[in-house]
């Protein structure tokens, strides 16, 4: 009996190594965070506006896809990097983007949008990050493609670069438009 008990830590350790080894051996890139929500309908939410003069966002708005839903915040430095691209595709490629301002402060976000421009059709104010939790947001920025039937078609974690947009996001949007 005593002999067997001494093997318990080893057993746990082997289990741990196996579990940790799986993502490594699969070669999963940890920056690609898969979402449990891809292929599922948009979770219901209704957010007040973050900016004066720009409406808030609810699930009803975004289900009329294909649209992008972009989680961002004024305190997030990489969101600024992504912003130029968003601004460009909203103004020149006719992509509809809904913004969800994640864990932010209203004066901050007003100043930030004032500085960087507004690519968003509407911006919801997710002050405590509750809607972010429902969506499974890992960190901002995160961008979701919503299909015309209101299903999450793609999740993009982190700042989107021009290449990401051309190679990943744009083809999906175009496929959904057909």
Site of interaction with another protein (CB under 8 A)? 2-3, 6-7, 9-10, 13-14, 16-17, 19-25, 27-31, 33-37, 74-75, 77, 80, 105, 107-108, 111-112, 114-115, 136, 138-139
- Nearest CB to another protein, comparing residues 19 and 92: 19
Helix (H) or strand (E) holding 155: strand 152-157
- Nearest CB to another protein, comparing residues 61 and 104: 104
Beta carbon of residue 9, minimum distance to another protein (angstroms, whole number): 5
- Nearest CB to another protein, comparing residues 31 and 92: 31
Specify the pairing of strand 67-72 against strand 142-146: antiparallel
Beta carbon of residue 86, minimum distance to another protein (angstroms, whole number): 18
Whether residue 155 contacts residue 89, with contact meaning beta carbons closer than 8 Å, is answered with no
Whether residue 100 contacts residue 126, with contact meaning beta carbons closer than 8 Å, is answered with yes
Beta carbon of residue 24, minimum distance to another protein (angstroms, whole number): 5
The closest alpha carbon to 76, from 59, 46, 99, 42, belongs to 99
Q: For 135, how many CA atoms within 13 A lie in the half-sphere containing its CB?
A: 32
């Amino acid at each position: 009996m005593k002999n067997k008990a001494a093997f318990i830590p080893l057993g746990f350790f082997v289990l741990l190594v196996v579990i940790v080894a799986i993502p490594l051996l699969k070669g999963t890139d940890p920056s690609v965070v898969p979402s449990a929500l891809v292929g599922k309908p948009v979770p219901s939410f209704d957010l007040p506006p973050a900016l004066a003069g720009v409406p808030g966002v609810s699930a009803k708005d975004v289900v009329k896809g294909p649209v992008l839903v972009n989680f961002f915040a004024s305190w997030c430095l990489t969101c600024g990097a992504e912003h130029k691209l968003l601004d460009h595709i909203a103004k020149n490629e006719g992509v509809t983007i809904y913004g969800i301002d994640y864990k932010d402060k209203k004066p901050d976000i007003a100043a930030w949008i004032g500085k960087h421009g507004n690519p968003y059709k509407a911006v919801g104010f997710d002050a405590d990050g509750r809607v972010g939790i429902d969506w499974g947001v890992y960190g901002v920025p995160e961008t979701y493609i919503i299909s015309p039937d209101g299903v999450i078609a793609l999740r993009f974690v982190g700042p989107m670069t021009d290449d990401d947009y051309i190679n990943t996001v744009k083809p999906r949007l175009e496929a959904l438009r057909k």
